[in-house]
Amino acid sequence: MGTGQLTIDLDAIAANWTALDAASGSGTETGAVVKANGYGLGAARVARALAHAGARRFFVAHAEEGATIRNALGRGPEIYVFSGHMRGDTDMLNDLDLIPMINSIDQLTRHIEALPQAPFGIQLDTGMNRLGMEPGEWMALRDVAVPRNPRLIMSHLASADEPESPQNRAQAKLFRELTAGCGIPRSLSATGGILLGPDFHFELTRPGIGLYGGRPFTEARAVAQLDLPVIQSGTVLAGETVGYNATWQAEVDTPTATVQSGYADGILRALTNKGSLWADGVECPILGRVSMDSVVADISGLERVPHELSLLCPEQGVDAVADDAGTIGYEILTSLGSRYARRYAGRAG
Ligand SMILES: *Cc1c(COP(=O)(O)O)cnc(C)c1O
């Protein structure tokens, strides 16, 4: 038996894309970010579902991820690579028709020398100080880059999930100044930026987390369900403890169930004595430390021992788990383990 079943609703992903496309406005195209194996949910199936929904431009973190998407989608859709043109990427970019988002003068030089006819995009740093050309660097290169017709100029918002942050407007203003008169399609917003409104949409948006059911797109349909088989049940007697280092002690006799998944499957150890599993709409608190391959839950709220307990289910989405673990939905999704049996539901993929 596997360590659990991860069910991925491709129709929900397609519906979330359609909703974010509508929110991006009629004059704006909507791409799709499928980096990190489609936020942990399976890049090939996810990308096909998104292409089916209407996405034509896809974004990945590096060239190898782009290769997976190209194999899944065939020729046609554009695939952009956030890390740009790294040493060693040239053949893959060229053979698979991937578009590097150039983020430095070194990369621009490398690209023009190695693949003078190949398309590219430009990534600008408007305040995140993570990736992209600094404003001064870009102004020096603009007259070299723009005549070569980049497919896209993009930047990334640092605080888009905080609508009140003045950083959002400051970045949008700088982006507008840096790209004025270029005549090249621009993209600033991921999921959070789409929700900030039309001033942030430009010609293309690039949602990721919202497609997969995560905040800040609170109206998203849930995408992932994770059911974990119960491998043992019993009663922990008053005074006994559960798990490594005995961090939980029973005050009364407590019926428990042990599921066959643990932190090696992405059930973060931070859920120790904090998170919950669910069955039949009943919350079953996690008792003691999350182990590598197992978790113990309090099933005293249930009438009988269930066949499985769920970590992700209608009652508990990725953000609720993230809150319990002190992290964000992105980390919950991208941590989902490789040992789960994955089942894809819906017709979209
Ligand atoms: C991850 C990422 C996105 C998608 O962001 P979400 O918050 O998941 O919508 C868009 N652009 C860049 C540059 C990214 O790194």
Give the number of the atom of ligand 1 that is nearest the alpha carbon of residue 61: 15
Q: How far is the CA of 2 from the centre of ligand 1 (A)?
A: 32
Q: How far is the CA of 284 from the centre of ligand 1 (A)?
A: 34
Would you tell me how many other CB atoms lie within 10 Å of the CB of residue 325?
A: 20
Chain length of the chain: 349
Is 35 catalytic? The answer is: yes
Residue 347 is predicted with a pLDDT of 73
Kindly indicate whether the domain formed by 224-345 is annotated with CATH number 3.30.43.10.
no
Give the number of the atom of ligand 1 that is nearest the alpha carbon of residue 209: 8
Residue 1 is predicted with a pLDDT of 58
Give the number of the atom of ligand 1 that is nearest the alpha carbon of residue 214: 8
Give the number of the atom of ligand 1 that is nearest the alpha carbon of residue 190: 9
Q: Which fold has domain 10-212?
A: TIM Barrel (3.20.20)
Nearest CA to ligand 1 atom 12: 156
Q: Give the mutation target among 59, 60, 333 for probing the ligand 1 site: most ligand atoms within 8 A of CB.
A: 59
Residue 106 is predicted with a pLDDT of 96
Q: How far is the CA of 29 from the centre of ligand 1 (A)?
A: 16
Q: How far is the CA of 207 from the centre of ligand 1 (A)?
A: 6
DSSP string, 244-273: GGG-EE-SS-EEEEEES--GGGT--GGGTT
On the question of a common fold for 10-212 and 224-345, the answer reads no
In 191-233, alpha helices (H): 191-196
In 3D space, the residue among 59, 39, 337 whose CA is nearest the CA of residue 213 turns out to be: 39
Give the number of the atom of ligand 1 that is nearest the alpha carbon of residue 35: 1
Q: What strand order describes the sheet that includes 29-30?
A: 29-30, 204-205, 186-187, 153-154, 121-123, 98-102, 78-81, 57-60, 32-33
Q: How far is the CA of 106 from the centre of ligand 1 (A)?
A: 24
Ligand 1 binding residues, C-beta < 6 A: 33, 35, 82, 156, 190-192, 206-210
Q: Give the mutation target among 30, 82, 171 for probing the ligand 1 site: most ligand atoms within 8 A of CB.
A: 82
> What's the pLDDT tens digit per position in 184-243?
999 999 999 999 999 999 999 999 999 999 999 999 999 999 999 999 999 999 999 999
Residue 246 is predicted with a pLDDT of 98
pTM (2 d.p.): 0.97
Would you tell me how many other CB atoms lie within 10 Å of the CB of residue 333?
A: 26
Q: Give the mutation target among 21, 33, 82 for probing the ligand 1 site: most ligand atoms within 8 A of CB.
A: 33
Residue 3 is predicted with a pLDDT of 82
Is 274 catalytic? The answer is: no
Q: pLDDT under 50 in the chain at which residues?
A: none
Nearest CA to ligand 1 atom 13: 156
Q: How far is the CA of 151 from the centre of ligand 1 (A)?
A: 18
- Distance, CA of 73 to CA of 237 (rounded, Å): 55
Residue 348 is predicted with a pLDDT of 62
Can you count the helices (H) and strands (E) in the chain? 11, 19
Q: Which of 80, 244, 274, 330 is catalytic?
A: 244
Q: How far is the CA of 99 from the centre of ligand 1 (A)?
A: 17
| Domain spans in the chain, listed from the N-terminal domain onward | 10-212, 224-345
